[in-house]
Structure formats: C-alpha cells, structure tokens
Amino acid sequence: MSPPLYNLHNHTPFSDGAYSIDELCEAHLSCTAVKFAGLGISDHLFCTPSSREIRNERDFQRTFAAETRDYVESVHAARRRWEGKFHVFCGCEINWPLNRNHLELIRGLLNGIDYVLFAYVDWAGLTQLANQARRWPCPIGLARTDVARQFPHTSLDQVVRTMANARIFYEVSVALLPLGEHERWFSILPNHRVALSLGTDTHDDLSCLEQVPELVRYLERHRLADRYFQPRLRSAESGDALAPQKTHAV
Ligand SMILES: [Zn+2]
C-alpha cells in the first residue's frame, strides 16, 4: 500500500501566500494528478515585515509570541473544519540567517506547531541544528535545499550522515526540478535513514501542485517511496503529541 502523501510547504496570506487554508485544501482535493491525504501550512514565522528592528529578547518575545499563537489558532481551526475530510498540519518556515541567534526563544514558542522547515541553512547552521535537534519540540527539516550548492565544501556523504543522525528530514521540492540534476544526492539517500517530505512552496500559483507527481515518480524509481515524513499532530495547550486518531474497530 502506498503511504499517504502530504504537501507540507504552503503559504497563506498570514505571511506571503495568496490563498486561504480552505482554498488550498480545495485545490489539493481537486488535484487529479496526485491523491493528497492532506497538506501542511508552513507560513514564515519570526520575521517582521515592518521596518521595526528587534532590539532584545523581550522585544522578540513580545513581537512574535502573540503572532505565533494567532497563527496556530487559525491553522488548528481549519484543521477542525476539515476533520474527517482532509488532514491539515500546522508547520512553519523559519529563515535560518535571520533567526540563528534566537533559536532558544523560538523553541519555547512552538506550541501547536507540528514541524519546522528551515530555509537558507549553511553547513555551520546544519551542524548547529544537528547538535540541538533533539531539544526541538517537533521535527525539523531543510526546505528546498540544493545540497551540493548549499554545502559546497562538504561531501554529500557527510551531509546525509549528519541529517540521518540528527533525524532532520529533507524536503523534496518542486523548486529542485528536474531532480535528475541532483542525481548524486538522491542516489545516496536510499542508504541512509533520512525522512523525506514533499513541498511545492505554494505562494500565488496553484499550478505547482501538478508538478508533484514528477517528484513522486522520481522517488519511487529511486527506492525512496517508503521514506515519507509523517508529521504528528501536536496540541496547542501542552505541546505534546496528540493521541493518534481512532480507527475503526476490527
Ligand atoms: Zn516557503
């Protein structure tokens, strides 16, 4: 049986996306090219669009704690609206260079967030993340990363081992198409336990969904179809993972 497919990289007007969560759910459900079991919202958090500068920790907390709570609330409300019809996960995307000095604060603000996608991580960043991966309250992954380009002085083998040991997942993004250009990376992945997520980085163009089958077929050909990252729902209150949804009695 094939695993459930989720597109875990979508933006909404909460950050810089054009479509509401409901519109994204409808678009995924009506997509004939691939059968999605759900989606993840991954809006940019912890980056202020205002010209205001964040001066200190208290300022950071004050600026982003309320914003993050509002975000989680709106995604969880959508999750409830779609319950039984479509899974809605609550992720977020974090810009590494902008936030690398605030990681401890950020970890305390992730109640109700199911996973974090990091963008623009360099090698020093990946090793830093790997060292603290287990301290994060939810799984963390690398968004739309061209490994050979982003870590030019590190062997692919070292990258993959670092990610596998720290259980950092890797996003297979439509931004990397054609994946054949990254053949070396995808050829070593089957030998290491790195989970893979699918991502379109949807902003204002839903046609990106039609490119997902190409990703899926490529992963199947590379014996990676059993590697899909399966997020778990985390409640906003305790930050704990929720119990799995009940299935039919047998
Ligand atoms: Zn994005």
Q: Which residue in 12, 142, 19, 27 sits closest to 75, CA to CA?
A: 12
Distances (CA, A) of 200 to 3, 116, 212: 18, 15, 8
Ligand 1 centroid to residue 95 C-alpha, Å: 9
For residue 9, the CA-to-ligand 1 centroid distance in Å is 6
66-124 pLDDT, tens digit per residue, is 999 999 999 999 999 999 999 999 999 999 998 998 999 999 999 999 999 999 999 99
Distance 187 CA to ligand 1 centre (A): 25
Quick one: pLDDT at residue 236?
79
Å from CA of 69 to ligand 1 middle: 20
pLDDT category of residue 248 using cuts at 50, 70 and 90: very low
Q: pTM for the whole thing?
A: 0.92
**Centre of ligand 1 from the C-alpha of residue 219, in Å:** 21
Closest by alpha carbon to 20, among 88, 112, 107, 98? 88
Tokens 């336990």, residue located: 193
Residues within 5 A (CB) of ion ligand 1: 93, 201
State the distance from the centre of ligand 1 to the C-alpha of 36, rounded, in angstroms.
19
